[in-house]
Amino acid sequence: EAGVAQSPRYKIIEKRQSVAFWCNPISGHATLYWYQQILGQGPKLLIQFQNNGVVDDSQLPKDRFSAERLKGVDSTLKIQPAKLEDSAVYLCASSLQGWVSGANVLTFGAGSRLTVL
């Protein structure tokens, strides 16, 4: 099966500019996640979608970050305006269902590395 696709792989912008990242999850996966991984730290959940509805965005800086998942498939994460501390790898992941019994195995994409100058 095809994996989780993300683009772009790398992006360099200046602070106060905007950027958007795109994710195409594994076909049939109802749950989609955006994680932020800052260098030297573990991935931190930004937002979680169940189909096209948001189930957790408690750690999303809503004054500058936004995300949508149209038609319950692809998703876009936007940052506007960017700050220096937004430099990180943005990981998209998907899973069949978020809350089924058993371990919730997420499949991750390769990530989009953002550098804010």
Partner 1 sequence: DQQVKQNSPSLSVQEGRISILNCDYTNSMFDYFLWYKKYPAEGPTFLISISSIKDKNEDGRFTVFLNKSAKHLSLHIVPSQPGDSAVYFCAARSGGTSYGKLTFGQGTILTVHP
| Sites of contact with partner 1 (CB under 8 A) | 4, 31, 33, 35, 40-45, 48, 50, 55-56, 91, 93, 95, 97-100, 102-111
Q: What are phi and psi of 50, to 5 degrees?
A: -115, 110
| Rounded distance between C-alpha atoms, residue 98 and residue 50, angstroms | 8
In angstroms, give the least distance from the CB of 43 to partner 1.
Answer: 5
Nearer to partner 1, 45 or 73 (CB): 45
Q: Which is nearer to partner 1, 13 or 30 (CB)?
A: 30
Give which of 18, 25, 77 is closest to 50, Cα–Cα: 25
| Of 82, 75, 116, 94, residue with least CA distance to 4 | 94
- Phi, psi at residue 106, to the nearest 5°? -90, 140
The nearer residue to partner 1, 7 or 17, going by C-beta atoms, is: 7
CB of 89 to partner 1, least distance (A): 9
Q: Shortest distance, CB of residue 111 to partner 1, whole angstroms?
A: 6
